[in-house]
Chains A and B, each alone.
Chain A
Amino acid sequence: MKSKINNNIERIIALSEELRWQIGDDFHDNLAESIYADASKIVEDAVIKDNEKAKFRLDAKIDKIVTSKIWGFPIMLFILGIVLWLTIIGANYPSAMLASVLLDTFLPILKNTGEALGFPWWLSGFLFDGVYLAVAWVIAVMLPPMAIFFPLFTLLEDFGYLPRVAFNMDSLFKKSGAHGKQALTMSMGFGCNAAGVIATRIIDSPRERLIAIITNNFSLCNGRWPTQILLATIFIGAVVPESYSSFASLSAVIGIAVLGIFFMFFFSWALSKTVLKGEVSTFNLELPPYRPPVFWKTIYTSLIDRTIIVLWRAIVFAAPAGAVIWLISNIYVGNESIASWTIHSLDGFGFLLGLNGVILLAYIVAIPANEIVIPTILMLTVMVTGIHGGVGEGVMFELDSVTATAAILKAGGWTLLTAINVMLFSLLHNPCSTTIYTIYKETNSLKWTVIASVLPVVAGFIVTFLVAQIWRILIG
């Protein structure tokens, strides 16, 4: 009896499998498709749309202009230029104000308080010259540009213009295996790489999103613009006649940013052809209707969602960095501080790259924030060369006068080659720790985080190495 039932069951299963072959491959898809089609038919019958035509007409007109052959790209470049200009120029004033409040007013107050409470020198040095100074610096340099850049960007986003940029640019990005929306995350990276990495959420295709995340660091961020401008002014502006000097230094900075875009395309292409080729890749881009941005709400959310979150992460990382910087220059092993010992051991490698030990150490301890690279370099240079300058042993500083800064750097053995290679290395080095942490949060993968961190620094080593050797052969 039982075996008979079993027999029957097996026969039925065999028959069903046989029938499945006969139905063929299309069956499931056809079923799914007809469900979709039925659903859309029901919607068409049941939903009444009104006045859609009139609303659509203005949209269509704007679209025609911003995606036209003649106006599409000029409009894009113009808007990006304005946003960057407003950010870089506009941020100077609040930055200077914040710096004077935090560094010139608060720091002495804190130090006096420490003295009044009877802090030993090392505690007040560690807390105020180390931790507080680094945090204050990061806030002063980072907050104003972000507070200007992000709201402007969010306004454009809300208005609906940014998807059109992605639409115009897609064919360029497609050639390197990337998504048109990477144009947006890249631009966002000009403000802050960590924010750029978060912005890659708009790319819904896994492969293209990873490409955008890994290559975002090639966008020169706000923390690095001031370094570029300072070095270009001191060294590049000096090699041409004075009337051209500001033009030359400006071109050099823009050249570095453009070089970054070139590296972004190159690595996007290389990644999509190698390690990322197995990731799923899809494309779709919705062009939503334009709508007037809700101004105050946008300002508020972009300040809270982007600026404050990124700033908070930066502070969390900057505080221990400040402590480390103070400690390595104030802890002595034998006659040498840890800092000067490290600098001497890095000098040989630094020389090969056309850099020096001071610069390499500065980039190691300044991983938490690119903003403190120049102050750290100045402090370490003064310490190593023993020249007079700065505010004290192992305390970061920045000088108001460009000539004074130039004097210190030149005393540290800087040449035009050093300056060019620092500009290149500032573009091509590991992302700051805030960005690394953000990449880990977004990808949830150690592998991609390591690749994203190591890839640019390897590129930086190779590029600066080649530049240094060729320079020495050709120019001496």
Chain B
Amino acid sequence: MNYSPITALVVFFGVSILLFFIFRPKKGIFFLVKKIYQQKDKTIIEDILKYLYHNQIANNTITTNDLTNTLSFSNAMIIESLNKMMDNELVVLEKDNYKLTTKGNEYALQIIRAHRLWEKYLSEKTGFHKAEWHERAEKKEHELSVVEIDKLSSLLGNPKFDPHGDPIPTSKGKIAKIKRGVPLSSLKENTIGKIIHIEDEPDIIYKQILAENIHLYSTVRVIENNTTRVIFHSEGEQFILAPIVAGNITVSVLEKDEVKEDDITRLSSLLLGETAKIIGLSKECRGENRRRLLDLGFVKGASIAIDLLNPLGDPKAYLIKGTSIALRKNQASKILINKNKNGK
């Protein structure tokens, strides 16, 4: 073959495009083949169990159609799996509705335990962004054995709640009653509540909530609530959400004299010249980050002020306990403060 620079370029770009289509994230041929290979019976059975469990808690009845419509497996595979599950006494059919047996219930709880523990692990011990936790846990839950799950649990100090605020079932299959809360969208104006759960499904709504920087366990006060939007204050910031998005945030209503919501703001809103007392770290500040901040002295009661502004805006240096520590804005937004009213 004769060399010409144009042929060389064409061959190069041809190979690059080919490689792109094979290894493109998620949609690449390589990943699609891998996914088909991984769609084992076990995965389908476990996904059906989980689906039935969640609906049983919510008192919904589930028919074959519901399953084939919601789960992303072929109908034939789902029906085959359902038959297998009935043979193994995991589910029973009552008037077209599937019900979990005690054995099925226990199995479902083990999967949920694996899922929530893995999310907890991702949040505490890795650097994956929280938007990725759920999807990764959806895969990992089918791969962990019971022994591995128990090991994971003790590695994490036997946590009781996952990073979204959901309780983690114990190894014996016990689970706490879900805390009674109401959707944020149902709160009347001027009600004060505490966010106790942020639902991570469906993905689109969860990502919207994440983009807003709303923090779990923060106190909220509803300013406006109508059919088009919900406006509320939390940690000194104002948030505007569509009611359908606000419906995925669960809050427990607090009595008015129990807390003073207005006093709490985020460190990121502190201005040069102002001083403040630290109230604590937000629950969203996790793992290594949290320990580091505590080590540096960002603890309840410490007084704090801005030491230096940055020529590019971020990070800012804060004066705490006589030391100047620079923090980025997303870190400062997870430190809660109470501004001193009279300046110094």
Contact = CB atoms under 8 A, between A and B. Distances in A.
Leading 5 A-B pairs by shortest Cβ distance? A21-B176, A472-B5, A285-B326, A171-B312, A287-B324
B204 interface: no
Nearest to A473: B5
Contacts of B104: none
A434 interface: no
A400 interface: no
Interface in A205-230: 206-207
Contacts of B323: 286
Interface stretch (A35-43, A133-141, A145-153, A292-300): A35-43
Interface stretch (A77-85, A254-262, A275-283): A275-283
B299 A170 contact: no
Q: Is the interface of A mostly helix, strand, loop or mixed?
A: helix
Contacts of B324: 63, 286-288
Given A32-B294, A469-B5, A473-B6, A168 B311 contact: yes
A172 interface: yes
A460 B276 CA distance: 52
A20 B157 CA distance: 13
B193 interface: no
A468 B6 CA distance: 11
Contacts of A45: none
B26 to A, nearest CB: 13
Interface string A175-186: 000001000000
A171 B127 contact: no
B114 interface: no
A287 B315 contact: no
A280 B122 CA distance: 10
B127 A280 contact: yes
Given A40-B299, A69-B311, A287 B217 contact: no
Contact of B127 (A64, A72, A207): A207
B182 interface: no
Contact of B307 (A69, A287, A351): A287
A283 B328 contact: yes
Contacts of B33: none
A284 B324 CA distance: 11
A29 B163 CA distance: 14
Nearest to A39: B299
Contacts of B325: 284-287
A183 to B, nearest CB: 12
Interface in B293-311: 293-294, 296-297, 299-302, 307-311
Interface residues of A, number: 55
23 contacts: A21-B160, A25-B283, A33-B281, A36-B299, A40-B321, A68-B311, A167-B310, A168-B312, A171-B315, A207-B127, A277-B127, A277-B129, A278-B126, A283-B315, A284-B326, A285-B325, A286-B323, A287-B307, A287-B324, A287-B325, A352-B3, A469-B12, A473-B9
Given A33-B281, A67-B309, A171-B313, A282 B176 contact: no
Contacts of B331: 283-284
A25 B129 contact: no
A354 to B, nearest CB: 10
A287 B296 CA distance: 12
Interface centre among A26, A60, A284, A285 (most CB of B within 10 A): A284
A115 interface: no
Contacts of B280: 33
Contact of B308 (A207, A280, A287): A287
A168 B313 CA distance: 9
Given A280-B287, A466-B12, 10 more contacts: A21-B160, A21-B176, A36-B294, A170-B310, A277-B127, A278-B126, A282-B289, A285-B315, A469-B5, A473-B6
A174 interface: yes
Contact of A37 (B125, B128, B299): B299
Contact of A40 (B159, B297, B310, B327): B297
Given A287-B325, A352-B8, A21 B307 contact: no
Interface centre among B8, B323, B324, B325 (most CB of A within 10 A): B324
B218 to A, nearest CB: 13
A72 B299 contact: no
Interface in B263-293: 280-281, 283, 287-290, 292-293
Contacts of A305: none
Interface string A91-116: 00000000000000000000000000
B5 A281 contact: no
A129 to B, nearest CB: 38
A24 B307 CA distance: 37
A4 interface: no
A26 B281 CA distance: 11
A393 B3 CA distance: 34
Contacts of B6: 469, 473
B314 A171 contact: yes
Contacts of B127: 206-207, 277-281
Contacts of A49: 322
Nearest to A71: B311
Interface string A17-55: 100110011101100111011001100000001001000
Given A282-B288, A286-B323, A468-B5, A40 B301 contact: yes
